[in-house]
Amino acid sequence: MSIKSRFIQMSSIGFSLGVFVGLFIAAISSIVSGDDSFHIYGEQFAQKIGNVTLSFTIELLCYGLLGVVGMGVKTLTYDNDKIPLLKATVMHFIIVMVVFVFVSNLLCWFETGDIIGRMIFYGCFILVYAMIWAIMSAIYKKEINTINNKLKQIQKEN
């Protein structure tokens, strides 16, 4: 399968996944809020748009966009073996972060002026990517050590 086909395939999956995750988070937020109502759309954003249906549609599209970027960009970074793992992680992080900042500002996910809240969230974002890179690196390092040991054993026998 070509990179373009794979990008389209993963982006399609990503869109569905993004919408699902967005709605799932809305459901969790509703439960956590404890006021017995389903907060399916962002009220601040709906007030800004002035139309609940339109604002909900835009929110769904934004969830899908995040999914598209997350999964689609993966095929261009992590799945491209010519890009070293660290570079792939940084590239993926930057692209997803840019789109996330755009979406979060558009949908009013943070209170205006809430710098601390944003910094905490972005910090967690960076931490998650650092953990992903560290875990993947540890796995590959272990695999390579196993391969080297096995190789020495085979070469010794021969």
Partner 1 sequence: MKDIVDIDVIIDEKYRDLLVKLYADKHDSRVDNIVYAIENAAHSDTSPVAAYDGGKLIFMPQREIFRIQVVNRRVMVETNEASFESKTALSALEEQLDDSRFFRISQSEIINLYHVKSFDFSVSGTITVLFDNGKESWVSRRRVKALKDLLNRV
| Per-residue burial over 49-86, b = 16 or more CB atoms within 10 Å of its CB, e = otherwise | beeeeebbebbbebbbbbbbbbbbbbbbbbeeeebeee
In the complex, minimum distance from the CB of residue 1 to partner 1, in angstroms, rounded to a whole number: 13
Q: Report the nearest approach of partner 1 to the CB of residue 80 (Å).
A: 10
Q: Which of 116, 132, 110, 121 has its CA nearest to residue 45?
A: 110
Residues making up the chain, counted from first to last: 158
In the bound state with partner 1, the residue whose beta carbon lies nearer, of 55 and 89, is 89
Residues 73-102 that bind partner 1 (CB under 8 A): 81, 84-89
Helix (H) or strand (E) segment spanning residue 133: helix 115-157
Using CB under 8 A as the binding rule, whether residue 154 contacts partner 1 is answered as yes
The structure tokens listed for 75 are 């095929």
Tell me: does residue 141 bind partner 1 (CB under 8 A): yes
Is 24 a binder of partner 1 (CB under 8 A)? no
Residue 132 makes contact with partner 1 by CB under 8 A:
no
| Residue count, binding to partner 1 (CB under 8 A) | 23
Return the range that interacts with partner 1 (CB under 8 A); candidates 2-10, 96-104, 112-120, 136-144: 136-144
> Assign residue 111 a region: left if phi > 0, alpha if psi is -120 to 50, beta otherwise?
beta
The residue ranges that bind partner 1 (CB under 8 A) are 81, 84-89, 133, 136-137, 140-141, 143-144, 146-148, 150-151, 154-155, 157-158
